[in-house]
Amino acid sequence: MAEPGSDAAGGGEDISADDWAAALAEQETSAPAPGDLAQPAAFPQLKNDASGAPPGNLEMILDIPVMITVELGRTKIQIRNLLQLAQGSVIELDGMAGEPMTVLVNGCLIAQGEVVVVNEKFGIRLTDIITPEERLRRLSR
């Protein structure tokens, strides 16, 4: 998802910080019961010092960009069928309507969520965070 206020699609209006704040406030008021989501202990809160700076060595990695991908679904098709695609063609995906979207960071599953729209721009509201233990288990497969 693009940074708040940036124009990820390259056209149209920018989303203001107030729009994102309203969407986040709505999320907090409609958030499920604490037991419904992954426990926050999976991502312990890092304490900032009085200056607001993150602790120790974390500062070194804060500006490293990562690629976030939200995946609707996947499918395999033959090249012959790929070459026959035209505007208006429909490609069937393995994901079902209403299923949570998969959130990948640098190709690694980290969460699932649901699509939200803020000022005609798409975003994703995270509904389930994968614990670090689960991520390690998936990597060892």
Q: What is the pLDDT of residue 76?
A: 92
> Would 101 be classed as within a structural domain?
yes
Instruction: Check which CATH number belongs to the domain holding 113 and give it.
Output: 2.30.330.10
- pLDDT value at 36 more than 90: no
Q: What is the pLDDT of residue 46?
A: 54
Among candidates 124, 123, 125, which has minimal Cα distance to 8? 123
> Would 49 be classed as within a structural domain?
no
> Would 121 be classed as within a structural domain?
yes
Tally of structural domains, the chain: 1
Domain of residue 125 covers 66-83+95-141
Q: What is the largest CA-CA distance in the chain?
A: 61
> Would 141 be classed as within a structural domain?
yes
Q: Which residue has the higher pLDDT, 75 or 4?
A: 75
Residues with Cβ < 8 Å from 126, sequence gap 6 or more? 103, 111, 112, 113
Which of 5-14, 16-25, 97-106, 116-125 has the least mean pLDDT? 5-14
> Would 70 be classed as within a structural domain?
yes
pTM equals 0.51
> Would 134 be classed as within a structural domain?
yes
- pLDDT value at 97 more than 90: no
> Would 57 be classed as within a structural domain?
no
